[in-house]
Amino acid sequence: MTDILILEGVEKTYDSGFTALHGVDLTLREGEILALLGPNGAGKTTLISCICGTVMPTGGRITVGGFDALTDYRRARSLIGLVPQEIHLEPFSRVMDTVRYSRGLFGKGRNDAYIEKILRDLSLWDKRDSRVMELSGGMKRRVLIAKALSHEPRILFLDEPTAGVDVDLRKEMWEVVANLKAAGVSIVLTTHYIEEAEAMADRIGVINRGRLALIEEKAALMSRLGRKTLKIELESPVAAIPDALASYGLQVADGGNALVYEYEAGASRTGITRLLSDLRDAGLCLSDLSTRQSTLEEIFVGLVHQQEENA
């Protein structure tokens, strides 16, 4: 798969002296959805702004569709559509006109057939002659997407596409994004919602303190997610794990009143049956059993904390 976007060692130190990005390396594959997660102030908007040319990086290199984002700015920028976080739309303008106008800003000739296609894809065609102020919040967000797509970009950046919107609208946006991907657009989205990354992304990147802390296929993350723990509560406490149970990698918990066993949720053999019979053979009596699964949220929070500690 070709990389449509390549970032090599991208750095940004603002005039204040604050470094918001510390050498970020990142690629976006053609046709994929990459979700960038990160706490507030992690550097997500700075990163997107560097790629889109609204913030000047102070180091590194950005290549968009083979064009250098600095030396070949116009061609690089023409391949990018940016959907900003805030809804900035002219309330009295009509949907079709505002989308056509955005296309014109990129110096592209009028192409009503293309504009019609994106408005239809975004279920806005019926609203083409409506004024922006007459639209619902969800429709306004779709108008922003239509404007960002008006000049036929190959990459679409969505900065917090569902910040502050209700559950229904969030699901509607997910559908819109899935349709765009199906239409061949490569997508980068930033989000605070882990659930959103889980629902939409092919790959997930985590940015923290201006560094890319992780970038991984969602499926691989999910298999990490699939780790489960079995908590075995004991009738009487143990001081240590009996030697006969050493191979299970058990942890002693609750002051010796419980043992914790970690296993892969999806594995065909979890080892639980054998463990339970070995526990009985070791003379341990159980009072209760419970299982729980780690979430992507825990992986994310754990990773961010780990970085804070190492900082």
Ligand X SMILES: Nc1ncnc2c1ncn2[C@@H]1O[C@H](COP(=O)(O)OP(=O)(O)OP(=O)(O)O)[C@@H](O)[C@H]1O
CB 15 to ligand X: min, Å:
7
Backbone conformation region of residue 71, classed left if phi is above 0, alpha if psi is from -120 to 50, else beta: alpha
**Judged by CB under 6 A, does residue 46 bind ligand X?**
yes
Whole-number Cα distances in Å, 184 to 29, 125, 271 = 11, 20, 44
CB 41 to ligand X: min, Å:
4
Beta strand 186-191 with 155-159: parallel, antiparallel or unpaired? parallel
> What residue has token string 């970020």?
24
CB 22 to ligand X: min, Å:
11
**Judged by CB under 6 A, does residue 92 bind ligand X?**
no
Q: 172: which residues sit within 8 A by CB, 6+ positions away?
A: 138
When binding is defined by CB under 6 A, the residue of 10, 28, 37, 42 that contacts ligand X is: 42
Distance CA 44, CA 40 (A): 9
CB closer to ligand X, 18 vs 92: 18
CB 55 to ligand X: min, Å:
8
Distance CA 249, CA 263 (A): 10
**Judged by CB under 6 A, does residue 38 bind ligand X?**
yes
Q: 114: which residues sit within 8 A by CB, 6+ positions away?
A: 152
Q: Residue type for 13, please?
A: T
> What residue has token string 């976080």?
85
Distance CA 234, CA 238 (A): 8
**Judged by CB under 6 A, does residue 16 bind ligand X?**
yes
**Judged by CB under 6 A, does residue 98 bind ligand X?**
no
**Judged by CB under 6 A, does residue 208 bind ligand X?**
no
CB closer to ligand X, 54 vs 290: 54
Question: Which element (helix H / strand E) includes 207?
Answer: strand 203-208
**Judged by CB under 6 A, does residue 73 bind ligand X?**
no
CB closer to ligand X, 86 vs 243: 86
Q: What are phi and psi of 118, to 5 degrees?
A: -70, -35
CB closer to ligand X, 85 vs 111: 85
CB 85 to ligand X: min, Å:
7
**Judged by CB under 6 A, does residue 14 bind ligand X?**
yes
CB 48 to ligand X: min, Å:
8
Half-sphere exposure of 123 (CA within 13 A, CB side): 12
Distance CA 55, CA 46 (A): 7
Question: 114-133: which residues touch ligand X (CB under 6 A)?
Answer: none
When binding is defined by CB under 6 A, the residue of 9, 41, 104, 137 that contacts ligand X is: 41
**Judged by CB under 6 A, does residue 205 bind ligand X?**
no
Tokens of 120: 């239809």
**Judged by CB under 6 A, does residue 173 bind ligand X?**
no
Stretch that binds ligand X, among 43-51, 117-125, 129-137, 265-273 (CB under 6 A): 43-51
When binding is defined by CB under 6 A, the residue of 7, 10, 43, 258 that contacts ligand X is: 43
- Which residues pair with residue 29 across a beta bridge? 3
Tokens of 108: 């592209």
**Judged by CB under 6 A, does residue 44 bind ligand X?**
yes
How many chain residues are in contact with ligand X, going by CB under 6 A? 12
Q: What are phi and psi of 196, to 5 degrees?
A: -70, -45
**Judged by CB under 6 A, does residue 45 bind ligand X?**
yes
**Judged by CB under 6 A, does residue 54 bind ligand X?**
no
Residues that bind ligand X (CB under 6 A): 14, 16, 18, 20, 38, 40-46
